[in-house]
Amino acid sequence: MFYLIQAITNILIAIAYVKPKVNYCQGMNYIASFLLHLVKNEEETFFLMYGLFENTDFSQIFLDDLIKLKQYFYVFERLIMLYLPELHYYLKTNSVIVNYFTSSWFITLFTNSLQYLPSSENPNVVLHIWDEFILVNKLNNLKIYLINFNTW
């Protein structure tokens, strides 16, 4: 346990060092932990996380006072309104703001909300989402979040 905690700390501080604009934001530890469980190697985890920030637009959500994240919130809410109007109405009438629960989806890429179960019979949903995210790498991958939302 101690080794894992130390490894996650090392990875996160190293990311903060090599990506100073991104620095560290709450929730990144879930991503580091997820990747570390996946590859079981601290150094490889660092490079995977570095690649995630370097080669996708994921890091943008942490920049400039989280402007991109706020944009995601807005687009996501509009998507709910367009594609799930009943749900949108329900949320609205109960004063539920989607940011409350979607912020952690965006920031941790579902690693804190969908459990990673490598040996389970359940499909590894998080990895499928990550595949989609890395391959598509566009704002329109918000459809993933919408599908996820709809199935709940």
Q: Which residues bind other proteins (CB under 8 A)?
A: 1, 5, 8-10, 12-14, 16-18, 23-27, 29-30, 33, 42-43, 46-47, 50-51, 54-55, 62, 66, 69, 103-104, 107
For residue 118, the minimal CB distance to other proteins (Å) is 19
Query: d(Cα 65, Cα 69) in Å, to the nearest integer?
Result: 9
- DSSP strands (E only) in 7-123: none
Closest CA to 26 of 72, 61, 55: 61
Query: d(Cα 129, Cα 93) in Å, to the nearest integer?
Result: 30
Q: Other CB atoms closer than 10 Å to residue 10's CB: what's the count?
A: 15
For residue 100, the minimal CB distance to other proteins (Å) is 9
For residue 19, the minimal CB distance to other proteins (Å) is 11
- The residue among 22 and 81 lying less far from other proteins, judged by its C-beta, is 22
- The residue among 21 and 78 lying less far from other proteins, judged by its C-beta, is 21
For residue 40, the minimal CB distance to other proteins (Å) is 15
- The residue among 18 and 82 lying less far from other proteins, judged by its C-beta, is 18
Closest CA to 97 of 83, 117, 78, 77: 77
Query: d(Cα 76, Cα 68) in Å, to the nearest integer?
Result: 12
- The residue among 82 and 135 lying less far from other proteins, judged by its C-beta, is 135
